[in-house]
Structure 1
Amino acid sequence: MGQTMSCGKVHENDLFVAVRNGDLETIEAMVETHDPTIFATARGHSRQSALHMAAMLGRIEVLSFLLDRVSFFSNPDVLNRYKQTPLMLAAIHGKISCVKKLIESGAFILKFDSLFGRTCLHYAACYGRSDCLEAILAAARTNRIADSWGFSRFVNTRDEGGETSLHLAAQYGRPECVQILLHNGALVSAVNGFNGYQGNTPLHHAAEGGSVECVRELLAWGADRLQPDLFGRIPYLLALQNKHQACAALLNPSSAEPLVWPLLLRLMTDLNLETKSLLEKALKEINMEREKSTSNTTTHSGSFPSPAPSVDDNTSEASNVEECSICFERLCAIELKPCSHQMCAHCTLALCCYKKPDLTKPSYEAPICPFCRCSIVNLLAVEITNNAAAELERSPSIPRKPRKSCEGSSSGSFKGLSAMSSFVKKGGRISGKVAAACSEASSNKHLRTAGMSSHPCNPS
């Protein structure tokens, strides 16, 4: 009897050593020659199974074999001492291949552990595993969760402390995860309080942790800088208390509010990824320029976009890309639908952000095209030919020739100038070309007037 128990113990150790080393041949031999109940054993204080260890270490071949060939793992939601599933451990350690395989095998993404009451989504956001986060969210859209629980409810699921996945991503400084969650319907101003108590928002956590990128992202999605916590502290005070000066500058209530991601673009479900990427980049550049003007700094270690180099007209003609007729500074990157007029991403954002979104109202007014006055239904990225794509990536503010499509009618020009004036008010800055042209025209007019008044034939 003692010899039998000793052999069993050796086999158990061999199993976990083989899983740790990724020795698939040894594991296959155990399935064929030994009692399959050996795979039901757990190891360590946390009582991890072989499937937990394979998921945690990223042994995808071993994991696939255990799921497909071992009957004990026909249900992939095996629990350890803390009721954590292999999917949770794979998300914690960022093993994306194991996450996908476990989801394909039917792992339940809405399991809560007994340690913090968190799901695999919480852990992926907390540890900054953006690829695992996207895989879990993609599964939630097609999984049985979408029908029974609801996708939006799943994204905003709270742990036992009232924290959503967005709270955790902001608290631990995971800007990529913050962005992914916001684009998938995470509530930017969710509070973690219970029983009527006013808790912390994700912006409070980001300010306390000193993550500038998370603060920028949350503010761009409309996070309230004046929202108090349980003790009446706004995020600005938390940033000051923890000596995060960069975050405090962004959260200062006396500074200008950053541009907010337009409500129109949030509700535009058919907005393609390329267009969204261009608009996100433009939004970040605009807000960084505002930060630069607020802090009155000349250099910031490359955090702000550098001035664009000038390019002659020959390069403009060769690239076959026209200049934005609103700001006369950047290339046309966005096409308005259904009218097909084109603008740069910065001016498109200014057009859509003309009014601050009111999230309490179910309806919204679609922005109007500044050229033809028709309602904008959708936005598309402009197809850039030749070397213009590389030029746009290298310098998004390359000067270009005026657009030919707007030179034909005076009414179109007046509309463009009218729209440009509204953008100047909104953006807080004037194009160098336009300012210089206006100054020159004013000087010439003054000289002509002075010359006429001093002419001897001019009546006094």
Structure 2
Amino acid sequence: MGQRMSCRERSESALFVAVENGDLQMIEAMVEADPTVLGMTSGYGKQSALHLAAAYGQMEVLSMLLDQFFLYTNTDALNRYKQTPLMVAAMNGKLSCVKKLIESGAFILNFDSLQGRTCLHYAAYYGHSDCLQAVLTAAQTSPVANTWGFSRFVNIRDESGATPLHLAARQGWSECVHTLLDNGALACSSTGGNGYPGSTPLHFAARGGSLECIRELLAWGADRVQPDAFGRIPYAIALKYKHQACAALLNPSSAEPLVWPLQLRNMTDLNPEAKELLEKALMETNEEREKAILNETICSVPSTSPSDAEVNDNTSEASDVELCCICFENLCTIEIKPCGHQMCAHCTLALCCHKKPDIITAVPEVPACPFCRCSIANLVAARIINSATELDISPSKPRISRKSWNSSEGSSSSFKGLSAVGSFVKIAGRSSGRVAAECNEASDKLLHMDARDSPSCHVS
């Protein structure tokens, strides 16, 4: 014979059904009749009412439990696996519930009993970048930043040694990888402890086969030749799991990618618009490198930047624009502070990347303006001026009309092959006071070579 449910079991079942369905009136009536009902847990998982509300995204129920019945609820209640409602909300991507729980005092540094993971691990593993950013924002202002330190929290490890960056890279969540790196996650962090080697996020991304994650990690300085506990580099991992395109980019014999400069990372007050332009330029430069590498294989990587035709169409809309007087190809999109000189994002990156500092022994030098040699304090997004706007232009920032540039473009194809990175690499070893003058001198030489030899002459 079956056993009948007790009154408390029926009350427990009715409470959890009401929480799942968002029945506020039923929940309020049950709690007012017996406040201890909120201490009940459901089934094998021992989920509380807060856990269920966070899992199902019942924001109104969650707010009522935290605000109206706060005396009978625990924001850090634990289920069978010692997971808090904040962890459950993070793993299910319920952003409003995550914010409400943090606002109500939920502790962000709790560890579960499964693998020793925090809410940050769960948000990264399940790819919820909005929840990830909410937890990171809260960590900057919570007591965790004062006791643990924000950088330590971002790079917190679970029982297997994996950081949130490892988990996001393994699952292929490139947006989460970018968010973590932007907040100080270490691209070369290892799962090994006490000096023993382990796997890096690049090993995890190579196993998962995510090109986007590999791009992000390489752009932030991930080491392609760092071995894991078995002596394997990421290239070998990609070959093992048959990710041919990833293996081509991770091959140590291929050209190194352009890395996000340390000087720009240390600019805490870097203008967001300027940063977005610089990140786009970095991605475009590395995509050109990827195309050259993958042309030797049968693989092809989809481009994430606009096509050349689209860029040219957008550029031609401005009849009178300022071209970068270093590369003479791109518009001036970055303005240097405090001097006010302008250059394109590609040349700005090349200015900061032409000399790679030693991270261990040397402090990265503050880059100097190539026009006046003053130290660069900050970078902001420059405004593109059209022909209808009047603006005084200094001699160091020549204003070149699009029509005149097109006419000169037909007589010389050498300028078209001159890249921003190549320009700075060629002038990096010369004296710093003659940068702008030597650029013009090099340009004249290229024009002379073009007229003397052949219109197909190309300078890389």
Aligned-residue CA RMSD (Å): 3.0
Matched, 1:442 2:441: no
Q: CA deviation at 1:10?
A: 2.3
Q: Tell me, in whole angstroms, the C-alpha distance in 1 between the residues paired with 2:61 and 2:53.
A: 6
Look up the equivalent residue of 1:19 and give its one-letter code: V
Q: CA deviation at 1:216?
A: 0.7
Match for residue 316 of structure 1 among 307, 315, 318: 318
Q: CA deviation at 1:313?
A: 9.9
Q: CA deviation at 1:46?
A: 0.8
Q: Tell me, in whole angstroms, the C-alpha distance in 2 between the residues paired with 1:342 and 1:68.
A: 53
2:405 is aligned to none
8 A contact 2:367–2:375 mirrored in 1: yes
2:20 is aligned to 20
Q: CA deviation at 1:357?
A: 3.3
1:163 is aligned to 162
8 A contact 1:77–1:107 mirrored in 2: yes
8 A contact 1:215–1:247 mirrored in 2: yes
Q: CA deviation at 1:315?
A: 4.1
Look up the equivalent residue of 1:331 and give its one-letter code: L
Say which SS state the counterpart of residue 53 (structure 2) adopts.
helix
Look up the equivalent residue of 2:327 and give its one-letter code: C
Q: Percent of aligned positions with the same letter in both sequences? A: 63
Unaligned runs of 5+ in 1: 389-401, 409-416, 428-433, 448-460
Look up the equivalent residue of 2:108 and give its one-letter code: I
Q: Tell me, in whole angstroms, the C-alpha distance in 2 between the residues paired with 1:40 and 1:68.
A: 16
TM alignment of 1:248-287, pairs within 5 A: 248-287=247-286
Q: Write the deviation string for residues 362-398 of structure 1: whole angstroms up to 9, x where unpaired.
A: 522111212122221211111235699xxxxxxxxxx
Q: Tell me, in whole angstroms, the C-alpha distance in 1 between the residues paired with 2:11 and 2:22.
A: 16
Q: CA deviation at 1:426?
A: 9.5
Look up the equivalent residue of 2:156 and give its one-letter code: T
User: TM-score scaled by structure 2?
Assistant: 0.83
Q: CA deviation at 1:14?
A: 1.3
1:176 is aligned to 175
Shift in CA distance, 426/178, structure 1 to aligned 2, threshold 3 Å: farther
Q: Write the deviation string for residues 153-174 of structure 1: whole angstroms up to 9, x where unpaired.
A: 1111111111111111111111
Q: CA deviation at 1:7?
A: 3.3
User: TM-score scaled by structure 1?
Assistant: 0.83
Look up the equivalent residue of 1:265 and give its one-letter code: L
Q: CA deviation at 1:348?
A: 0.5
Q: Write the deviation string for residues 305-355 of structure 1: whole angstroms up to 9, x where unpaired.
A: 4223656998433xx531111111111110011111101111100111111
Q: CA deviation at 1:422?
A: 3.5
Shift in CA distance, 112/273, structure 1 to aligned 2, threshold 3 Å: same
Bigger Rg over Cα: 1
Q: Tell me, in whole angstroms, the C-alpha distance in 1 between the residues paired with 2:367 and 2:448.
A: 32
Look up the equivalent residue of 2:188 and give its one-letter code: S
Q: CA deviation at 1:202?
A: 0.6
TM alignment of 1:24-43, pairs within 5 A: 24-32=24-32, 34-43=33-42
Q: CA deviation at 1:184?
A: 1.0
Q: CA deviation at 1:68?
A: 1.3
Matched, 1:187 2:186: yes
Q: Give the aligned length.
A: 414
Q: Tell me, in whole angstroms, the C-alpha distance in 1 between the residues paired with 2:209 and 2:157.
A: 23
Q: CA deviation at 1:194?
A: 2.7
Q: Tell me, in whole angstroms, the C-alpha distance in 1 between the residues paired with 2:207 and 2:82.
A: 31
1:380 is aligned to 380
| Residues 437-446 or 365-374, more deviating | 437-446
8 A contact 2:327–2:423 mirrored in 1: no
Look up the equivalent residue of 2:189 and give its one-letter code: A
8 A contact 2:245–2:299 mirrored in 1: no
Q: CA deviation at 1:96?
A: 0.3
Q: Tell me, in whole angstroms, the C-alpha distance in 2 between the residues paired with 1:436 and 1:338.
A: 28
Q: Tell me, in whole angstroms, the C-alpha distance in 2 between the residues paired with 1:312 and 1:160.
A: 51
Q: Tell me, in whole angstroms, the C-alpha distance in 1 between the residues paired with 2:304 and 2:443.
A: 24
Shift in CA distance, 181/357, structure 1 to aligned 2, threshold 3 Å: farther
Shift in CA distance, 364/30, structure 1 to aligned 2, threshold 3 Å: same
Q: Tell me, in whole angstroms, the C-alpha distance in 2 between the residues paired with 1:344 and 1:181.
A: 27
Matched, 1:147 2:169: no
TM alignment of 1:377-456, pairs within 5 A: 377-384=377-384, 405-407=396-398, 422-423=423-424, 425=426, 441-442=448-449, 444=451
8 A contact 1:68–1:74 mirrored in 2: no
